[in-house]
Structure formats: C-alpha cells, structure tokens
Amino acid sequence: MTPTFPLLIDGRLRPGADGASEDVINPATEESLGHVAHAAPADLDEALEAARRGLEEWRAVPPWTRGAILKQAAANLCADIEQIARTLTLEQGKPLAEARAEVIRSAEFLEWGGEQARRVCGRSMMGRDPGQRAEVETLPIGVVAAFTPWNFPMALAAKKFAGALGAGCAIICKPSEETPGSVLALAQALLDAGVPKAAIGIVFGIPSEISRYLIASPIVSKITFTGSIPVGKLLAAQAGSLMKPVTMELGGHAPTIICGDVDPEQAADLLARAKFANGGQICLSPTRFFVERNIAERFTARFAEQALAWRVGNGLETGSQMGPLLNNRRLQAITSLVDDALARGAVVRAGGKRLGDRGYFYAPTVLDTVPADARILHEEPFGPIAPILPFDDEEDMLRQANGLEFGLSAYVFSHDVRRRERLKDRLQFGTVGINDVPTHPPEIPLGGWKESGYGTEGGIEILEPYQKTRFVSTRH
C-alpha cells in the first residue's frame, strides 16, 4: 500500500521497507486522512548514510549561498500558504487563521536562519610569541537528529531546520506521526529551494524505537527535541551516555500573576485569547492564574464570560476560534484533570465537558476554588482549562508559582513598575511576559529553566547549538 504520508530519504518519497504504517486522523471528524509510513531499521540506515553524504555536500556550500537558499525556502512556503495551512488544520485541528500564522512563522524562522548563516565566521589573533598565529574556526557540528511534536508541527520543526541547515549541518527529523503532512511540506520547500536532497531526511515510526536507533548511530552528532519533560530526560540520558550534546525545549506550567491594580476585565480578555489559542496546547500557554483577591471575582466572571462565548468548531469552518484537541488521549487527559479538580472541591464557572460526540472537542473551561492538591496545579494541562487561584499574600503566591519543576514561562500583569520588576526578578522562568503573553519570534532566543530544558532556539544564537569550534595554532 502506498502511504499518503511517505518517508523522505535522499530526496525520494517512499514507503517503509516493511510496509508498516498507521492512520492519520482528522481530530475534528475522527476520519482517516490517510496513512503515514513507518521506517524500518533498513530505512533508518539509508537515511543515516544519506545524511552523512549530505553533510559533506551542504557544509561545502558557502554560508552566503546557504543563507540565500534558506530565504528562498521561506518564500516557497509563503507562496503555498493556503494549501499548507489547510493541511495543518486537517491534521492538527487548529483554525485556518492560526494555521496560516504558523506557516508564516515557519517561513520567518527559515529567513532568520538564512540571515544568520551569512554571518558565520571565525576569528584570528596574534599569538603570544613572535611568528605565532591563533585561529578559531566555526564549523557545523555534523548530522542532527531532530524530534518534533504535534502542537506546532511546522513551526517547531522550522526552528530546528533553520538552525541546523544555516550552520551547514544535515538533519534527520522525526516529526509526530499524527501531524506528518506539514513537516513534509516544509522539507519540500527546502529541497525546492536548493538544499541537497541527501541533507534532509524525514522519518516516522514508533517514537521510542526511532529515537533510540538514531541517537545510538555514530553518524549522528547532535540531538534536538521539543516535547515533554519525561521524554526529554529519556533522550538526554541516551545521548549523554554517548557524550552527544542536546538541545531541549520541554514542558511548561506557566504561572500568571494578575495584580489588583489592573483592569480585571481587560486582563481577562487578553488572557482568554492566549489561553484558548491552539486549544491551550502550547508550552508557553498561561496555565495557573494567580489573581489578587480584590479583583478575583471580576476577573473570573469576565474570563468565564469569554469562555462561554468562545466559538469551538472545525478549524475549516468560518468563525471557529478554537478547534478540537489533537486526539482522544488528550481528550481523556483533560477530562481526567477536570474531574479530579471537581472531586477535590473545585467549581466550574464555564465549560468542564466534552462538546458533542464526534471529534475531540472540549469546552473552554474556567475553574474556581481549585484546591492546592488538585492535579491540574501540578501536571502540565496542555488544554483549554484555566484554574483561578485568588491570593492575598505575595510571598506565599510566589512559593506556589516557583514550586514546580517547570521553568519555561511566566506572566505578570501590573501597572506598578516596581512591583512587576520585583515579581519578574523573583520568578524562576526563562521567559517572562509583563502585561503580555508573547509567542516565540525568530529573533528571540527561547529556552527553559529548571526541568523545562536547556539550550535555546532562535535569536542571533540560532546557529550556535549546531556549531562546534576548533582552535588552530600556527607558528611560522
């Protein structure tokens, strides 16, 4: 059977060697979009050998030319934005407007990586002795194994492609089997722009088996992963046993502090948009809402009003503001978190239930009176749930905000400059939004603190995770 979503190895789209595949499900209809091919060990060996050859070919391309190719790939994406956005919506569920925005952001990452590729340079200096010269060379680290998730399947892959290819590396990417089409489109845009066919591989399969095989290969020099903390730890341990460097962007559970001096309705309007974007399936999503008690009821009432008015539906339908969750596992996980909170005494102010019986739709949900031992306050929810936590004591609130292993993002809403600076300095997170919930633009380096990962992606540093340096001393 010819898979709808094949492997991409050495420039060829093809099924896996043993013919294995799995269904790709439209989360809005629960209907099959086709089959995604699974890679057998023989396929992975072929992808690795191609990447070894692709590395030698691509690293020889002058950085200026590499930059031009990446910028052309960005243009290719934008030229095909409507078809790619539709693919994204069909396989991931997000509304078309959000899918278009993701394609544009993916293009921006490729363009940014292309610009930074043109700045690759070394440095030279006089040595300590007459006739001695010291040089520092900047080189591509080698073949990169990239593992990317399903919530922003194209954009989160584009970050890695932009950095790795900009640095002169070859890359083998294993995207989520649930959202294969958008990453295949990304790879095709790069190949059409002129990246050597052997320098890019796309493989699918059983995640633990693919990752173990690629990480163990002596051809792979670098691991990059975006996903959950438990899986990140597992991959980091496998890579660490072979002394292979890793970049990890892992989970978040963002405390969002709303101080009593802000307009609670205005803050609720902004935060509802941020919370329900992509169905709450965003690592940077605000997830724990600490609201100063003097405005807590007004904030909660307005947030609930927004949740009840939010239009949930098929992402292809005009007017849909939020699509379905990705799969039945997410639906069951969200249902379990809400049921647990209610059993412990939480109160539903909006939502709290599945919508319909077809598609993985869950109502935008606001919970009040959430007890401290509720699972939702300790486990990353990754869904459209907003637990409201009134506070009186700032120190106690900060202990709760910083009290988890997560350190990806946090948010502060206040008009008091001194207070928000004090809170910002106390928060143990790699990203802090002040009166804002930012996304990740390519010009900014983003990374997590604590167990939310290490290393950054983006910024003027976008190539650095994929580079190595060499010191050359010459005596004349």
Catalytic residues: 249, 283
C-beta of residue 27 within 8 angstroms of C-beta of residue 323: yes
Q: CA geometry: angle at 446 spanning 289 and 67, to 5°?
A: 145
At residue 48, the 3 state secondary structure works out as helix
Q: 124 burial class (0-12, 13-18, 19+ CB within 10 angstroms)? A: exposed
Cα–Cα distance, 463 to 278 (Å, whole number): 28
Buried/exposed 46-82: b ≥16 CB within 10 Å, e otherwise: bbbebbbebbeebbebebeebbbbbbbbbebbbeebe
Cα 99 from chain centroid (whole Å): 14
Tokens 């649930």 belong to residue: 178
Phi-psi region of 92 (alpha: psi -120 to 50; beta: other; left: phi over 0): alpha
Cα 308 from chain centroid (whole Å): 28
Q: 131 burial class (0-12, 13-18, 19+ CB within 10 angstroms)? A: exposed
Residue 369 is classified by DSSP as S
Tell me which amino acid residue 360 is. Answer: Y
At residue 255, the 3 state secondary structure works out as strand
C-beta of residue 435 within 8 angstroms of C-beta of residue 427: no
Phi-psi region of 254 (alpha: psi -120 to 50; beta: other; left: phi over 0): beta
